[in-house]
Chains A and B, each alone.
Chain A
Amino acid sequence: METLSNTDFDRLEKLLRTKRLEELSTTEKQWIHTVISEEEYASMSGLYLMLNNSTQSLDLEPQPAIKSRLDGAWSAKYKHPGIFQIKLPAYQTVAAAMIFFLIGFAINWNRPVQPKIIRETVQVIKYISQPESTKVKQHEAPQLEQRKVIQPTQPEPVQPIRDEVEHGLPELNPEYARQQEITMANITHAMNEKVGSSIGSDTVLQKMLVRVY
């Protein structure tokens, strides 16, 4: 700016925007002469007025498509990832697992222990490990010769009993028959244990039968 200072420009522009040449006062005209000619002022004030009118006429509206594209860009940037798409560092995953484990442990620790209610019982059968020592009374068998009394306290004489079974003993005396059966069961049990086949492999029914014997 050759002759116009900043302050002078502000004053000149204010006059150009508000007043035509004819509307200027004498004092203002005198000041104008120090800056520009009257012709220049008239042209410039006319331009200001025309600009004031013309610039209002241009009024473009942005299309909605622009906003839609921008909304798409916004969503792409600020879209919240799904819960299964969140990437976690390994140490955070391990820490979370530890926390869950400790919480579960604490819950079980504080829980009161409830008494167990037994609804089913199993009968345990005690097998005879040793032959019972039973005193056998001596009976006289009618019309039969006197027999030798067997001493069941000694398990050694297995063979004589077997022999007697083979020969067919009289079944007239039930007491004697029962003792014989007990003896046979004991012998069978002892033999099984010796051979290695445990009685534990028997069925419950077999065990019960044994007990009855």
Chain B
Amino acid sequence: MALFKKNYSTKSDEELMSLLAQGGQSAFDELYKRYSKPMLNFFFRMLNNDREKAKDMLHDLFLKTIEKPDSFDRSKKFNTWFYTLANNMIKNEYRSRQIHAEHHKQILAVNNELYEMNDGNFDTNLFNNRLQLELDKLDIDAKTIFNLRFVEEMSIKQIAEIMNCPEGTVKSHLFTLTKLLSKKLSIYKPELN
């Protein structure tokens, strides 16, 4: 039977999505293999490092793919469509609860504690915590654009499609964000100043 087993690892995301819509479980498995980890990390960052919520969101995202595979917009690339779904879920989550305010206090407390413990010896974890804190102060769109660009390393065009806005708006957001964050986080990289 191994002779007849299809090699899904060489297929594109869009081809896998078509096979998935026809009931191909192997196609689904391959998509899960490719996207479960990046999507989990994306949710984790966007939901203020709430690990359990990120897992739930990851499950719900793939569940939507199983239940409504026909909702895939074939005019878009799969990962663009997938991140659009994820972004919509995150927006709904933000609306449903005040995640913003809750985590702000939590991060601030952890950050101060680490600052005292390390006695000014900054490391990557500390920088990440502070970065997360600063990102939490931003609106959801700015935070999403930042993550898509610097973490997921998407193109401006893809981000514009996901955010459903012009490319110029994305670039404008990124320029403003970079300037703002570089000022606020300059203390964490003294060797670069």
Q: Do A and B bind? A: yes
Q: Which residues of B contact A55 (CB under 8 A)?
A: 150-151
Interface SS, A side:
helix
Whether B59 lies near A66 (C-beta < 8 A) is yes
For residues 48 through 70 of chain A, which have their beta carbon under 8 Å from a beta carbon of chain B?
Answer: 48-51, 53-55, 57-63, 66-67, 69-70
Measured between C-beta atoms, what is the minimum distance from A48 to chain B in Å? 8
Q: How far is the CA of A77 from the CA of B25 in the complex (A)?
A: 11
In the complex, residue of chain B having the shortest beta-carbon distance to the beta carbon of A62: B36
Q: Which residues of A contact B37 (CB under 8 A)?
A: 59-62
In the complex, residue of chain B having the shortest beta-carbon distance to the beta carbon of A1: B172
Q: Does B110 contact A (CB under 8 A)?
A: no
Whether A60 lies near B40 (C-beta < 8 A) is yes
Q: Which residues of A contact B176 (CB under 8 A)?
A: 1
What 1/0 mask marks residues of chain B from 71 to 103 whose CB sits below 8 Å from any chain A CB?
A: 000000000000000000000000000000000
Q: Does A158 contact B (CB under 8 A)?
A: no
Measured between C-beta atoms, what is the minimum distance from A157 to chain B in Å? 103
* Most chain A CB atoms below 10 A, which of B67, B125, B178: B178
Q: Does A181 contact B (CB under 8 A)?
A: no
Q: Does A47 contact B (CB under 8 A)?
A: yes
Whether B186 lies near A46 (C-beta < 8 A) is yes
Tally of chain B residues near chain A (CB < 8 A): 44
Q: How far is the CA of A58 from the CA of B25 in the complex (A)?
A: 29
What 1/0 mask marks residues of chain B from 8 to 34 whose CB sits below 8 Å from any chain A CB?
A: 000000000000000101001000100
Q: Does B128 contact A (CB under 8 A)?
A: yes
Whether B189 lies near A50 (C-beta < 8 A) is yes
Whether A44 lies near B51 (C-beta < 8 A) is no
Measured between C-beta atoms, what is the minimum distance from A183 to chain B in Å? 96
Whether A40 lies near B189 (C-beta < 8 A) is no
CB < 8 Å: which of A16, A57, A77 contacts B124? A57
CB < 8 Å: which of A1, A13, A46, A78 contacts B189? A46
Whether B192 lies near A49 (C-beta < 8 A) is yes
Whether A62 lies near B55 (C-beta < 8 A) is yes
Q: Which residues of B contact A16 (CB under 8 A)?
A: 178
Q: Which residues of A contact B45 (CB under 8 A)?
A: 58
Whether A46 lies near B192 (C-beta < 8 A) is yes
Q: How far is the CA of A67 from the CA of B25 in the complex (A)?
A: 12
Whether B32 lies near A9 (C-beta < 8 A) is no
Q: Given the known inter-chain contacts A50-B127, A63-B55, please indicate yes or no for A74 contacting B28, CB distance below 8 A.
A: yes
Measured between C-beta atoms, what is the minimum distance from B71 to chain A in Å? 14
Measured between C-beta atoms, what is the minimum distance from B5 to chain A in Å? 18
Whether A69 lies near B179 (C-beta < 8 A) is no
Whether A67 lies near B32 (C-beta < 8 A) is yes
Q: How far is the CA of A71 from the CA of B29 in the complex (A)?
A: 9
Q: Which residues of B contact A146 (CB under 8 A)?
A: none
* Most chain A CB atoms below 10 A, which of B167, B186, B192: B192
Q: Does A153 contact B (CB under 8 A)?
A: no
Measured between C-beta atoms, what is the minimum distance from B23 to chain A in Å? 5
Measured between C-beta atoms, what is the minimum distance from B31 to chain A in Å? 11
Measured between C-beta atoms, what is the minimum distance from B100 to chain A in Å? 20
